[in-house]
Amino acid sequence: MLIRPFTPHDIESTLELNNANVPELNELDAPEVARLSELAACALVAEVDGRFAGFCWVIAPGQPYGSLNYRWFSERYDTFVYLDRIAVHPEFRRYGIGRAFYSELVQQSAPKWPVLLCEVNIRPMNEGSLRFHHSIGFREVGQHDTDEGRKTVSLLELSLASST
């Protein structure tokens, strides 16, 4: 497995994987994938045997991003990095890619940011993701409804202070 920086070459594969994971992730188009990856403080791709296996990106505070979850965190935290999205291709789940992404994100983020923030759907329930995030040390700091009340998310925080 290789974790590497996102490149423009990854837009199509990212778009396909992202949109295959709705409702866990909201649907995007190619221009928005490009914009968000450029806006990101860190954007990563996983490869397994040279094949695209997943992606993730985090966004720092003060960015022009309209996400309700990002806004919720921005109203409550001055300094943070926000995991906007992470997805692993079903063929490569259970390869440790999620943990590898988080390890790299923590390594890159801990020197600059005190916390890594994200959310996980609890309506519809994404039990596997919630269990995974709790297992690596995230704790819930709130909940709110999104998508015009069709979703509820658990808002999560991982302290990076102990990671430096």
pLDDT at res. 164: 45
Strand arrangement of the beta sheet that strand 81-88 belongs to:
2-5, 42-48, 51-59, 81-88, 115-123, 151-159, 139-146
CATH number for the domain that contains residue 46: 3.40.630.30
Return the DSSP state at 61: T
Return the DSSP state at 48: E
87, burial (CB in 10 Å: exposed 0-12, middle 13-18, buried 19+)? buried
Look up the domain containing 72 and give its range: 2-163
Bigger pLDDT: 129 vs 17: 17
Residue at token pair 């996980």 = 120
Amino acid at the residue 151: K
pLDDT at res. 162: 63
Q: Compute the distance between CA of residue 98 and CA of residue 129 in angstroms, rounded to an integer.
A: 10
pLDDT at 24 over 90: no
Residue at token pair 């188009």 = 29
Bigger pLDDT: 137 vs 24: 137
pLDDT at 163 over 70: no
Q: pLDDT tens digits, residue range 40-77?
A: 999 999 999 999 999 999 999 999 998 999 999 999 99
- Its pTM surpasses 0.85: yes
Q: How many domains does the chain have?
A: 1
Q: pLDDT tens digits, residue range 113-142?
A: 999 999 999 998 989 889 999 999 999 999
